[in-house]
């Protein structure tokens, strides 16, 4: 019974000697026997075939090296890692993981220079270059295009190297065309931390030229925020040009954030008139479900800048542009505004306009508000007129429902008739 786990492991490995997970399980069975662990790892890396392997083969090599590391035998661990870097793995990412684990081991033991040297070796140009996805070439010839290795190299240079060496690494990543938006942002933030502000902005500009929407959104958002924070209103025209570039071709999904930043810039450093123009553009450029919120912000800012009366045009535009539910809410808010200004007749006209898309059965709150308005400010004639409009709108919606029911019934009868004709043929 004591030998049962070992016997079971042997059977499973005879069934499939290329199962990485089973080899790792077998290693755990020999936890108290270092010699057996070394023999098992050695047998595993010699037996497992890259073409038939089940699981990540690189995990065998990294686990083997970590075993030596835990025993304090760094020289042996380095030997294992060096052999692993020459193994013909199936994927470049597997080899990149080996190099990163190798460097992390050196960092854990505070051999910082060795870690940097390892990353330099890993990212060095091979004698024969190959495309990252070219399966016909060994992974060693394609490793120099691995973003995983370059990212770790950049992190190490930021922490341990000089500003110039770090810039050289980031520039190399960009030149190889493997940079991601996050890499661009990291590069620009690094330059900013070292007070290279204009170089940071150049990095952002290079990034926005490399990527298209939606990937470029994070770069634009960070770039514009940092630019405003740095210069404020000192370079207003340049800031406006940047915002116009960002909005050129910007999808509706991302437009709201950029428009709000743009309007904030104009409010704090530019002209209120320009800010209102930005808000006006934003109301039609954002997603349909964000339009109501954008109109609300526009109305609030316009009231603060030019007074309440200036919001009438915005309310009227909102009622035209928004879908029924949004238009109904805007009508109620607009009418309440006119009521506060003492324009009772205008408020009544607005309620009447909003009633056209307010079914009394489903929008009882709208009719309740209008009714309370008439009780407070109206008379018998105006109250009757409201009731007449309510009946008219109710009849209109009932007609639409009846028409749809009739169409559905007619379609159903037609299908029944067709079925009957088909049966009569038999």
330, with CB counted inside 10 A (0-12, 13-18, 19+), is buried
Q: Is the pLDDT of residue 418 over 50?
A: no
Per residue, what are the HEC states of 232-271? CCCCHHHHHHHHHHHHCCCCHHHHHHHHHHHHHHHHHHCC
Tell me what the mean pLDDT of segment 341-369 comes to. 80
Q: Is the pLDDT of residue 5 over 80?
A: no
136, with CB counted inside 10 A (0-12, 13-18, 19+), is exposed
- The domain locations on the chain are 232-307, 323-398
- Please enumerate in sequence order all residues whose Cβ is within 8 A of that of 253, keeping only pairs 6 or more positions apart, or say none: 214, 287
Can you give the pLDDT at residue 416? 45
Q: Is the pLDDT of residue 423 over 70?
A: no
* Choice among 46-60, 118-132, 180-194, 400-414 with the minimum mean pLDDT: 400-414
Can you give the pLDDT at residue 233? 75
d(CA 235, CA 241): 10
Q: Is the pLDDT of residue 136 over 70?
A: yes
Can you give the pLDDT at residue 414? 56
Q: Is the pLDDT of residue 400 over 60?
A: no
Can you give the pLDDT at residue 401? 46
Tell me what the mean pLDDT of segment 351-365 comes to. 77
Can you give the pLDDT at residue 421? 47
Can you give the pLDDT at residue 9? 66
* 3-state SS, residue 53: coil
Band of residue 426 on the pLDDT scale cut at 50, 70, 90: very low
Q: How far is CA 328 from CA 290, 292, 332, in A?
A: 16, 11, 6
* 3-state SS, residue 171: helix
Can you give the pLDDT at residue 419? 47
Can you give the pLDDT at residue 270? 78
Q: Is the pLDDT of residue 422 over 70?
A: no
User: pLDDT tens-digit profile of 256-315?
Assistant: 888 888 888 888 887 888 888 888 888 888 888 888 888 888 888 888 888 887 888 888
Asked whether the beta carbons of 276 and 305 are under 8 A apart, the reply is yes
Mean pLDDT of the chain: 80
Q: What pTM was computed for the model?
A: 0.72
* Choice among 9-18, 89-98, 230-239, 401-410 with the minimum mean pLDDT: 401-410
Best mean pLDDT range from 2-11, 224-233, 409-418: 224-233
DSSP 293-327: HHHHHHHHHHHHHH-GGGGHHHHHHHHHHS-HHHH
Can you give the pLDDT at residue 15? 72
- Return the ∠ at Cα 214 (arms to 208 and 216), rounded to 5°: 20
User: pLDDT tens-digit profile of 211-263?
Assistant: 888 888 888 888 888 888 888 778 888 888 888 888 888 888 888 888 888 88
d(CA 251, CA 286): 8
């Amino acid at each position: 019974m004591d030998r049962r786990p070992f016997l079971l492991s042997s059977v499973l490995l005879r069934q499939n000697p290329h199962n990485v997970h089973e080899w790792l399980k077998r290693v755990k069975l020999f936890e108290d026997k270092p010699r057996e662990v070394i023999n098992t790892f050695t047998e595993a890396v010699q037996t497992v075939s890259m073409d038939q392997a089940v699981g990540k083969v690189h995990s065998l090599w990294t686990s083997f090296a970590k075993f030596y590391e835990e025993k304090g035998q760094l020289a042996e661990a380095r030997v294992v890692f060096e052999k692993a870097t020459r193994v013909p793995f199936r994927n470049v990412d597997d080899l990149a993981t080996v190099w990163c684990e190798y460097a992390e081991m050196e960092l854990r033991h505070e051999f910082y220079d060795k870690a940097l040297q390892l990353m330099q070796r890993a990212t060095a140009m091979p004698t024969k270059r190959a495309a990252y996805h070219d399966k016909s070439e060994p992974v060693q010839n394609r490793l120099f295009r691995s973003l995983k290795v370059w990212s770790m190299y950049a992190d190490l240079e930021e922490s341990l190297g000089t500003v110039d060496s770090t810039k050289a690494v980031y520039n190399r990543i960009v030149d190889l065309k493997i940079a991601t938006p996050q890499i661009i942002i990291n590069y620009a933030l690094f330059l900013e931390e070292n007070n290279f502000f204009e170089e940071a902005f150049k990095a952002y500009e290079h990034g926005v030229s490399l990527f298209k929407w939606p990937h470029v959104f994070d770069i634009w958002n960070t770039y514009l925020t940092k630019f405003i924070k740095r210069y404020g209103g000192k370079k207003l025209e340049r800031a406006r040009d940047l915002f116009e570039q960002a909005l050129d071709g910007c999808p509706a999904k991302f437009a709201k954030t950029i428009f709000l930043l743009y309007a904030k810039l104009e409010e704090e450093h530019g002209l209120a008139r320009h800010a209102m123009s930005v808000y006006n553009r934003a109301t039609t450029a954002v997603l349909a479900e964000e339009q109501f919120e954008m109109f609300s912000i526009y109305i609030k800012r316009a009231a603060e800048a030019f007074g309440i009366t200036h919001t009438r045009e915005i309310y009227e535009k909102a009622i035209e542009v928004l879908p029924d539910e949004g238009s109904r809410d805007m009508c109620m808010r607009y009418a309440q505004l006119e009521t506060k200004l003492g324009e009772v007749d205008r408020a009544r006209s607005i309620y009447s306009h909003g009633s056209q898309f307010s079914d009394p059965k489903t929008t009882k709150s709208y009719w309740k508000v209008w009714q309370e308005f008439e009780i407070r400010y109206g008379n018998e004639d105006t109250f009757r007129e409201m009731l007449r409009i309510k009946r008219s709108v109710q009849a209109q919606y009932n007609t639409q429902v009846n028409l749809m029911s009739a169409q559905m019934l007619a379609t159903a009868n037609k299908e029944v008739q067709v079925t009957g004709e088909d049966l009569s043929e038999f």
